[in-house]
Amino acid sequence: MKKFFKQTLLLLNKFFFPFYKDKEIKILFYNLEKNESLEKEVAMFVGGCVRNFLQSKKIVDIDIATIFTPLEIKKKLKNTNFKVIDTGIDHGSVTVILNDKKFELTTLRKDIKTDGRHAEVKLINDWEEDSKRRDFTINAIYLNKRGKIFDPQQGVNDLKNGVVKFIGDPQTRIEEDFLRIIRFVRFSMQYNSLIEQSTVNAIKLNLNGIKKISKERVLLEIFKILKLPNFYKINENKQIREIFSIIFPEFINLNRLKNFEIIKGCIKNSELLFLSILLIDLKSNYEYFCHKYKISNKIKEELSLLGDNFKIFNRDKEFFKKKLKSNLYYLGANNMKILYSLNLLNKKKFSKKEIELFKFIDNLSIPRFPYDGKTLIKKGFMEGKKIGKILDEAEKFWIQNDFNISSDEFEKIVKNNSSLN
| Domains of the chain: residue spans and CATH | 1-161 (3.30.460.10), 164-249 (1.10.110), 254-365 (no CATH), 373-420 (no CATH)
pLDDT bucket at 8, cuts 50 / 70 / 90: low
Q: What is the mean pLDDT of residues 223-240?
A: 94
- % of the chain exceeding 90 in pLDDT: 70
pLDDT bucket at 16, cuts 50 / 70 / 90: low
Please enumerate, as own/partner, the contacts of 239-247 that have beta carbons within 8 Å and a separation of 24 or more: 239/188, 239/194, 239/195, 239/200, 240/185, 240/188, 240/189, 240/195, 243/181, 243/185, 243/195, 243/200, 243/203, 243/204, 244/185, 244/189, 246/204, 246/207, 247/181, 247/182, 247/185, 247/207, 247/210
C-alpha dihedral over 194, 199, 205, 210, to 10 degrees?
Answer: -70
pLDDT in tens, 52-91: 999 988 888 999 999 999 999 999 999 999 999 998 888 8
Judged by average pLDDT, the poorest of 16-20, 38-42, 231-235 is 16-20
Q: What is the pTM of this model?
A: 0.85
Taking 50 as the threshold, does the pLDDT of residue 421 lie above it? no
At CA 207, angle to CA 205 and CA 209, rounded to 5? 105
Give the three-state DSSP class for 384: coil
pLDDT at 322: 85
Higher pLDDT, 336 or 119: 336
pLDDT at 10: 52
Taking 70 as the threshold, does the pLDDT of residue 17 lie above it? no
pLDDT in tens, 308-329: 999 999 999 889 988 899 999 9
Q: Supply φ then ψ for residue 271, to 5 degrees.
A: -60, -40
Q: What is the mean pLDDT of residues 118-130?
A: 89
Among candidates 246, 267, 260, which has minimal Cα distance to 203? 246
pLDDT at 285: 86
What is the DSSP code string of 129-191? Answer: HHHHTSSBGGG--EE-TTS-EE-TT-HHHHHHTT---BSS-HHHHHHHBTHHHHHHHHHHHHH
Q: Are 167 and 136 in contact (CB under 8 A)?
A: yes
Q: What is the mean pLDDT of residues 108-124?
A: 82
pLDDT bucket at 397, cuts 50 / 70 / 90: very high
**Chain centroid to CA 272:** 11
Give the three-state DSSP class for 297: helix
Taking 60 as the threshold, does the pLDDT of residue 116 lie above it? yes
| Amino acid letter for position 289 | F
Greatest C-alpha distance within the chain:
89
pLDDT at 19: 65
Residue 307, Cβ neighbours under 10 Å: how many?
A: 20
Taking 60 as the threshold, does the pLDDT of residue 98 lie above it? yes
pLDDT at 72: 95
pLDDT in tens, 255-313: 999 999 999 999 999 999 999 999 999 988 899 999 999 999 999 999 999 999 999 99
Judged by average pLDDT, the poorest of 16-25, 122-131, 411-420 is 16-25
Average pLDDT, the chain: 90
CA-CA distances (angstroms) from residue 373 to 200, 388, 393? Answer: 62, 8, 13
Cα gap 181→117, rounded to integer Å: 12
Residue 382, Cβ neighbours under 10 Å: how many?
A: 9
Q: Are 249 and 266 in contact (CB under 8 A)?
A: no
